[in-house]
Amino acid sequence: MSARRRIFGLHAAQSALANTPDKLVTAWLDEQRADQRLSALRRDLERLGISVQPANRKTLDRMVEGQNHQGVVLEVELPQERGENELRDALEGLQSHAFFLVLDHVQDPHNLGACLRTADAAGVHGVIVTKDQAAGITPVVSKVASGAAETMPLYKVTNLVRALGWLKESGIWIAGAAGEAERSVYQTDLNLPLALVVGAEGKGLRRLTRDSCDFLLRIPMAGQVESLNLSVATGVLLFEAVRQRATAAGAVAHSGVSSSSSSR
């Protein structure tokens, strides 16, 4: 059964129209705004038969608790976060080089939304989060994710260490992000079935999570700051893996040699 949630903002609304128009239920648009983007959005919604309700700015402000809605709020049906059974099924059904992002007790919805958006762009198969003490899909997450909350599978697990064990059983290597790691991400082979694990804001990986990783890696820092924002660091790490995979695929294609997955 699907839950109904509210998303807001022009970009989030346009992404929902483009990716999951069948999930749209109701729209509220600022009756006092007449800019071209909002007018075009209204036409698209009405063309799909979506109920469009006029509202004033104060009403929209209350609906999203003061967030920047840009004159549009949508009620949408979003799939519920997936559970452990769905994760096991996904692992059994993988048809390509595994690529997962694991977030260890990440609680900031802005960081989760940004990570979902980056994971979608990087071609990640799914994002795994803890069921407790962690952010889930909310209107804020949906807005920041800019459509990725609807397209990127989000798996919630009760025991993260156990879930990492399932990944290992499926031949996936577990790489943990840690600022004190000896190995730089640029010195590490990431062209393998991979799950990147990123710890919580300001805390990093928990001890048991760290102990479950096959290896740790870090982003070398040249300036005075000690670390990057969680979602920024996640993007750097994911896209270094993407770069390595693309480079390897290009080299294989140029040589005409078929590739084979790395095994644990």
Can you name the CATH fold of 3-78? 60s Ribosomal Protein L30; Chain: A; (3.30.1330)
Please determine, for residue 1, whether its predicted confidence score (pLDDT) is greater than 50. no
What does the pLDDT average to over 145-167?
91
- For the stretch 18-58, pLDDT in tens is 878 888 999 999 988 878 989 999 999 999 999 999 999 99
What does the pLDDT average to over 62-72?
90
**Does the predicted TM-score (pTM) go above 0.85?**
no
- For the stretch 232-248, pLDDT in tens is 999 999 999 999 999 98
- For the stretch 137-149, pLDDT in tens is 887 887 788 778 8
Please determine, for residue 123, whether its predicted confidence score (pLDDT) is greater than 50. yes
Identify the weakest region by mean pLDDT among 39-43, 119-123, 165-169. 39-43
> Which part of the chain is CATH 3.40.1280.10?
84-255
Percent of the chain topping pLDDT 70: 92
Query: Tokens in use for 46?
Result: 């009405």
Q: 145 CB contacts (<8 Å, ≥6 apart)?
A: 12, 112, 113, 114, 116, 117, 120, 152
More confident residue, 111 or 22: 111
Residue 2: per-residue pLDDT: 56
Residue 228: per-residue pLDDT: 84
CATH number of 84-255: 3.40.1280.10
Residue-wise burial string across 60-98, b where 16 or more C-beta atoms lie within 10 A, e elsewhere: beebbeeeebbbbbbbbebeebbebebbeebbeebeebb
Residue 221: per-residue pLDDT: 85
